Structure 1
Amino acid sequence: MTYPAPFDVWFPDAAFDGSYGFTLDTLRAVAPIAPEDGFEALWRGWRERARSVDAAPTVLSTSTVEGRAVSLIELSGVDGVRLRAWSVAPLDGTSPRVGVVHGHGYGGRDAVDLRRVPADAAAIFPVARGLGDLNADIGAPEDREAHVLTGLASPDDYVIGLCARDLWLAADALVALTGEVPLYYVGESFGGGLGALAAPWDDRFFGATLVVPTFGQYDERLAVPCLGSGEFQRQWVLRHPEAREQLRPFDASTAALSFRIPVRVEAALWDQNVPPQGQFAVANAVPDALLELHVLPAGHAEYPGLESITSDAVAGGLAHLDRALAAAVRR
């Protein structure tokens, strides 16, 4: 099988076309899923209920990483389950300029990655319920297939919704530990999709960067195979067609229509794990005046020039944070 250039050279042994036949022009035309009646009320209701939960963060240990104070902490999720995370603060004890809530991919997280956290920022690196290294099988099963399907029959209990809502408690924990700071969200893949679901309803966030975000445009996602968690959802819906309706409240492209803050989306033209049409649907949902789109050649893959491309993307994300913060201050 012949793939479009340069993917034919980069991924000659790929089992299928990670561009799914899309070009940048056709990806920019992928429409987000319009919200059904009650979508916004559902998420705003969850946000309001989360305000009554005390994150109650406790510091378990602290060490120094790359000139920052990094603490292992414990905090509550939206249903009271106790989850572990890492918090980060400037080592010299100065008051942080900004706070970053930093999501992660579906593989979980075994350490902090400070590349997208300014030196004068505080941050929290939550680890999603059920996922390693810190929260394996806590609040949800670690097995990826079981995880992405857990609780799907009940909107209140679906694990993707719970993981997104847990981000509000992570923000609460960061504020409790560092004091009131303006908040910025960063998330990649799984964390990008969760951020699209959660951040529009929390007015503490002044901006966000979503890197190759998942959970976008389920009509497109469920129509094609992939190597990521979406394949488990696709196979489940094939066997249980009613599950398509159960996924509607958790479409990241639908939620992204409600963004009212500057959002940078780093979306890939080739991605076998998170189909690009879903990523771009999230970007296309963000109001044009608020969107900064950064196009990556590929996602979830090694390819020539990746280190330089990643470095440029990280620098662009940090610059976006600064611009979004300046705009928020002016308001």
Structure 2
Amino acid sequence: MSIPTDHPYDFDPTYGFEFDALRALKPPEAPPHFDDFWRTRYLAALGHDPQPRLSESASSHPGWQVQDIVYTSTDEFQIGGWLLVPRSGNVRRGLVVGHGYGGRDQPDFNIPVEDTAVLFPCFRGLSRSRRPPISDDPAWHVLHDIDKPERYILGGCVEDLWLAVSVLIKLYPVLEGRIGYSGISFGGGIGALAMAFEPRIDRGHLVVPTFSNMPVWLTLPTIGSGHSVQNYQKTHRDVLETLALFDAATAATRINIPLLVAVARFDPAVAPPCQFSVANARPTSNHHQVVILDAGHFDYPGSEEQHALLLEKVRRFFRTP
């Protein structure tokens, strides 16, 4: 492994953490009402009819039938995205794929799964799910209703994911109990929060997940969304009380399905200590695998080889039984 040393940042994106120190990090303890907060939201979301509407997509691919999709999430929020169905074979599994904070302008046609219906939702306020007054700029999106725990935008995005699972089951009832989740960065943090309370997902893949170990997340320099929240905290000292409810590392301690987590030792956008707090939340075993990348949110020598190896692990992880 070769961690980048040449970079343009005025801080060290390893934050001085050696590997042993990263592996020793633990998630924060949950606030007393953490579980009740999320279980109540989950049960409410479960009662929503997502009313998925499919239409022909401008995108096309020789191996996938591509359809545009819109479904109704909580707060009557219209969530847009894409549904991919294999042109050959049978649909035997489902997969929801979350995106990073840059949003998504098309589905990922290279996702390494077979016999799988793949749903690519755009979380509320972003890309195909833009809606005023929510900003699609990550620096503002991450602050939307942060002063109201019940309304904070991250909670709505978790509900969007839960409703995405409902969409797949509504379209393909045979998929119940055979749906996975894959999410990177923003989608990784949202995924950890969602999977902690979503028994309909049977396995999850998280890459450089954010919103993790919030007490640390608020203290480390970053070019990511955490920078906005750090500035907000200067005039709102109690923000950590809200953020404790949205800690992906805390949530990960409650995930009991197989996990494949990819974390980076160098990352200017999502600090490695925060990523590793998610990876360390469960004991490593055949059901919980951790892949170490040299860097995240940064191009580096050897990245293609490392990501090719990760892609093969993902292929095996989501292989149709």
TM range (shorter): over 0.9
What's the RMSD between the two structures over aligned residues? 1.7
CA distance in 2, matches of 1:21, 1:291: 26
Q: Distance in 1 between matches of 2:28 and 2:315?
A: 29
- Find the counterpart in structure 1 of residue 316 from structure 2: 319
| Contact 2:179–2:201 under 8 Å retained in 1 | yes
**Per-residue deviation, residues 5-46 of structure 1 (Å, max 9, x unmatched):** 6422xx243322100001111001111011111111111111
Name the SS of the counterpart of 2:270 in structure 1: coil
Count of equivalent residues: 317
Change (3 A) 1:257 1:38: same
| Equivalence for 1:49 | 44
Establish whether residue 84 from structure 1 lines up as the match of residue 88 from structure 2.
Answer: no
Pair 1:19-2:17 in alignment = no
Measure the CA separation in 2 of the matches of 1:175 and 1:61. 20
User: Which consecutive residues of structure 1, in runs of 5 or more, have no partner in the other structure?
Assistant: 327-331
Amino acid at match of 2:43: E
Code of the residue aligned with 1:15 in structure 2: it is D
Distance (Å, rounded) in 2 between the aligned partners of 1:82 and 1:7: 41
Query: Which residue number in structure 2 is paired with residue 160 of structure 1?
Result: 154
| Conservation of the 8 A alpha-carbon contact between 2:262 and 2:291 | yes
SS in 1 for 2:196: helix
Percent identity for Structure 1 against Structure 2: 35
1:309 partner amino acid = Q
Select which of 85, 97, 101 maps to 2:96.
101
CA distance in 2, matches of 1:173, 1:155: 26
8 Å Cα contact 2:267-2:297 kept in structure 1: yes
Of stretches 61-70 and 145-154 in structure 1, the one that deviates more from structure 2 is: 61-70
Maintained 8 Å contact 2:3/2:266: no
Q: Distance in 2 between matches of 1:216 and 1:46?
A: 20
Secondary structure at the aligned position of 1:198 is classed as helix
Structure 2 Cα separation of the partners of residues 258 and 269 of structure 1: 24
* Matched residue, 1:251: 247
2:211 is aligned to: 215
Work out whether residues 42 and 197 of structure 2, in 8 Å CA contact, stay in contact via their aligned partners in 1: yes
Match of residue 188 from structure 2: 192
Post-superposition Cα deviations, 1:204-262, rounded to whole Å, max 9, x if no partner, equal 11110000000000111111110000111111112211111111100000100101101
Matched, 1:147 2:144: no
**Structure having the larger proportion of residues in helix:** 1
Question: What is the identity, as a one-letter code, of the residue corresponding to 1:150?
Answer: H
Moved more, 171-180 or 238-247: 171-180
Q: Which amino acid aligns with 2:104?
A: R
Q: 1:138 to 1:72 in 2, by over 3 A?
A: farther
- Quick one: distance in 1 between partners of 2:133 and 2:78? 8
**In the alignment, which residue of structure 1 is the partner of 2:300?**
303
CA–CA distance in structure 1, aligned partners of residues 111 and 237 of structure 2: 40
Distance 1:66 1:276, change over 3 A: farther
1:329 alignment counterpart = none
Equivalent pair of 1:101/1:184 in contact (CA under 8 Å)? yes
Residue type at the aligned position of 1:33: P
Aligned-residue offset at 1:310: 1.1
Residue 110 of structure 2 aligns to a residue whose secondary structure is helix
Q: Could you tell me whether the CA contact under 8 Å between 1:109 and 1:127 is conserved in 2?
A: yes
Q: Identify if the C-alpha distance between structure 1 residues 117 and 41 changes in structure 2 by more than 3 Å, giving closer, same or farther.
A: farther
Distance in 2, Cα, partners of 1:105 & 1:120: 25
- Aligned mates of 1:227, 1:250 — CA distance in 2: 20
Conservation of the 8 A alpha-carbon contact between 2:113 and 2:318: no
Q: Does 1:293 align with 2:287?
A: no
Q: How does 1:200-239 map to 2 (within 5 A)?
A: 200-239=196-235
Alignment TM-score, normalising by the size of structure 2: 0.94
Q: 1:184 to 1:237 in 2, by over 3 A?
A: same
TM-score by length of 1: 0.91
Shift of 1:140: 2.7
CA distance in 1, matches of 2:61, 2:161: 23
Question: Which segment drifts farther, 171-180 or 303-312?
Answer: 171-180
Where 1:72 maps in the other structure, the secondary structure is: strand
SS of aligned partner of 1:210:
strand
Change in Cα spacing, 1:75 to 1:117, as seen in structure 2 (3 Å) is farther
How many angstroms does 1:199 deviate by?
Answer: 1.0
Q: CA–CA distance in 2 between the matches of 1:180 and 1:38?
A: 35
Q: Which runs of 5+ in 2 are unaligned?
A: none
